[in-house]
Amino acid sequence: WRRDDFCVAATDALRAIAAEGQGVMVVLSAPRDSDALLARLRREPEVRPAGKDKDVGQWRRNGAGAQILADLGLGRLRVLGTPRRQIGLAGYGLEIVETVQP
């Protein structure tokens, strides 16, 4: 089992970013309604069976997120969450230099 957001609740991520004094949080595939989005970000991460992340939609979301980070001028990234191999980031000029637990 794994959590959808790599074991970091959105509120914990935002606290860690605030404590650091800088950072970016990209939210993709969120509800269109702002109240629903806030409710989703406030609740605990969902747990789902491993192996479900091999769908094409996940690859597209990863690519969209990478494009957003690259467009913001980021390159070397410190990532909050569980270490995992990310494929294709170099194509966007991105490199994960550290994985941090909040």
Listed by start position, the domains of the chain span 2-100
d(CA 37, CA 56): 23
Q: What is the pLDDT of residue 61?
A: 76
pLDDT at residue number 3: 47
Distance CA 50, CA 2 (A): 6
Cα radius of gyration rounded to whole Å, the chain = 14
Residue 102's pLDDT is what? 63
pLDDT 10s digits, 48-99: 555 555 556 666 778 888 999 999 999 999 998 888 888 889 999 999 999 9
Q: Tell me if 26 sits within 8 A of 10, measured CB to CB.
A: no
Cα(61)–Cα(87) distance, integer angstroms:
13
Q: Which residue has the higher pLDDT, 58 or 2?
A: 58
Question: What ranges make up the beta strands (E) of 1-102?
Answer: 2-3, 47-48, 76-80, 95-100
Per DSSP, the three-state class of 8 is coil
